[in-house]
Amino acid sequence: MFSNYAIDYVILPQHQDIVRTYLTADPIEAEEFLMHLLIGHADIREIRHNGAVMTGHSLDRMLKIAAERISAGLLRDSLHIDAEQVKVRFGFAA
């Protein structure tokens, strides 16, 4: 499998400095993995797409999508509303 996305991260940055790399060819899978890293307070060192380091708008967009998916899920669960209500009320695609 050719990996389009590579995410370098440290799981417990306050206890260790072992950099791991997650590889995937699927952009949705990369976003889901980023969601887990954000929830777990991991240190995201670098994201590469097709070997090039993502910076600026493309990096921010990928992280924003992951953060919005987390927020949308929290709102759905906490307020007991469906994805459409989350979108209408808060502007997050769920």
pLDDT in tens, 70-85: 999 999 999 999 999 9
- Across residues 13-28, what is the average pLDDT? 91
Residue written as token pair 């992951």: 66
pLDDT in tens, 27-65: 999 999 999 999 999 999 999 999 999 999 999 999 999
Its domain, for residue 25, covers: 5-90
Give me the residues paired with residue 5 across strands. 24, 49
Task: Provide the percentage of residues in the chain whose pLDDT is more than 90.
Answer: 86
pLDDT for res 11 = 92
The strand ranges marked E within 12-75 are: 20-24, 43-49, 52-53
**Domain total in the chain:** 1
